[in-house]
Amino acid sequence: MINIAILGLGKIGSGVAELIEKNDTLICRELQERLNVKYILDLRDFAGTPYESKVVHDIGIIAKDPEIDIVCEMMGGTKPAFEYSLECLRAGKNVITSNKEVVASFGNLLCDAARDNKVRYMYEASVGGGIPLIRTIKTAYAGIAIKEISGILNGTTNYILTQMIKEDKTLEEALKEAQELGYAEADPSADINADDTCRKICILAALCFGRLVSTSMVSCSGIRCIKLSDTEIAAKFGAAIKLVASAKLFDNGKIDIRVSPCLVTRNNPIRNADGVYNAVNISASTVGDVTLVGQGAGKFPTAGAVLSDIIDVAKHIKTGQPVQELMECADEEEICDEYTTNCMYYAAVKQDKEKVLDDFSGAEILYADGEITAFVCPDISRQTFEYLLSAGGYDVLSSLRAI
């Protein structure tokens, strides 16, 4: 029997407890052993529920119990989640988390502690919910250099933008609806301002490139700037507007990491991930592009990701865990400047396409109807793009990064 402690019996924590019970037969077949939830640490007592007898309020009981092999931290926030995780790792417990805030802020320290104590710190559930992103990067791309990772990492904003582009709703209307459906929090700022997405791309970049970028170093803008007119124009030529996070490694070792609303062109496979779905594209020069699409959040998709980490760790309990991968912290100088680093930019202007093609070398026209010309420049800096729009006297109807 493998004993587990769950820290925080909220939506994800209770999902994990339920999955362990419901999938007992499958888990036993996989592990040739049973998983047992021995402790639940929570502020509440859950009196009268089956969880009552397992509840403890002191992390020390869990950390000191030699029977506990795995601690699942599903608390949210960094306090006391970080301290509790560190204490458990130092006590020789494997720690599994769904808490992106802790991983993005302290992942380097927790990975260090795990390696030092010959256990593992696992965080599949912190990014992409039911999409096996982290495991794919760690295992399928082991020994393969990833060049770029980009995608839609927040279901709430994707739902809102989908409603704007497909149903002509304003951001305010779509947000209200998302709140009514339980997709958005009462305080939606972490989603709308893209803080949530920013933490996730920092975690993915750390895995892909071995360096943890502080969220404060990321050029990050949310979706408040997106107007119905932006989505209306994009819809004319089959493009979409999505909140896109991306991280790219240049040959000189510098990382271009950004979060912003983007025009997603028709050919990009993340274009079709609508509603609460997430979609991530992984590019490696040797093996080509792979896109993963799925439900990026929700009780059971996320709990399923935690369970996959539990089983991975449980399989190694007798033989010893594989060596924990580390994250070094990235320095400010390793991060590209958003204004001067080339990427793809998009604009829709009132001028005709002949003028656009004259002014922007390499521009590709996406749409032109005599009144609107929409185009992308595939390799230009924001600085140059904005300068050319301004110097050319353009009437800009919409302008965004593109992908």
- According to the binding rule CB under 8 A, does residue 307 interact with its own copies? yes
C-alpha to C-alpha distance for 58 and 144, rounded to whole angstroms:
43
> Can you tell me which of 3, 10, 11, 23 binds its own copies, judged by CB under 8 A?
23
CB of 79 to its own copies, least distance (A): 30
Per CB under 8 A, contacts with its own copies among 324-383 are none
Q: Segment near its own copies (CB under 8 A), from 22-30, 47-55, 247-255, 349-357?
A: 22-30
Residue 23: how many CB atoms within 10 A of its CB? 16
> Can you tell me which of 11, 90, 115, 135 binds its own copies, judged by CB under 8 A?
135
CB of 180 to its own copies, least distance (A): 21
> Which residue's CB is nearer to its own copies, number 155 or number 222?
155
Quick check: 58 and 24 in contact, CB under 8 A?
no
Per CB under 8 A, contacts with its own copies among 140-199 are 140-145
Q: Segment near its own copies (CB under 8 A), from 4-12, 71-79, 137-145, 356-364?
A: 137-145
Q: Taking CB under 8 A as the rule, which mask of x and - marks residues 25-64 in contact with its own copies?
A: -xx--x-x--------------------------------
Catalytic residue among 93, 147, 169, 200: 200
C-alpha closest to that of 93 among 314, 387, 361: 314
Per CB under 8 A, contacts with its own copies among 256-285 are 269, 271-273, 284
Quick check: 80 and 42 in contact, CB under 8 A?
no
CA distances for 327 relative to 20, 116, 206, 209, angstroms: 30, 14, 6, 9
C-alpha to C-alpha distance for 352 and 375, rounded to whole angstroms:
11
> Can you tell me which of 68, 114, 131, 220 binds its own copies, judged by CB under 8 A?
131
CA atoms within 13 A on the CB side of 20: 25
CA atoms within 13 A on the CB side of 34: 8
Q: Amino acid identity of 379?
A: D
CB of 204 to its own copies, least distance (A): 16
Residue 289: how many CB atoms within 10 A of its CB? 12
C-alpha closest to that of 42 among 52, 31, 30: 52
Residues 6+ apart with CB under 8 A from 241: 161, 164, 165, 226, 230, 231, 234, 261, 262, 263, 264, 400
> Can you tell me which of 159, 300, 346, 360 binds its own copies, judged by CB under 8 A?
300
- According to the binding rule CB under 8 A, does residue 10 interact with its own copies? no
- According to the binding rule CB under 8 A, does residue 319 interact with its own copies? yes
CA distances for 47 relative to 5, 16, 43, angstroms: 18, 19, 12
CB of 6 to its own copies, least distance (A): 16
The answer to whether residue 54 is catalytic is: no
Q: Segment near its own copies (CB under 8 A), from 58-66, 87-95, 149-157, 288-296?
A: 288-296
Task: Just list the catalytic residues.
Answer: 200
Tell me which residues touch its own copies (CB under 8 A): 19, 22-23, 26-27, 30, 32, 124, 130-132, 135-136, 139-145, 269, 271-273, 284, 286-295, 298, 300-301, 303-305, 307-308, 310-312, 315-316, 319-320, 322-323
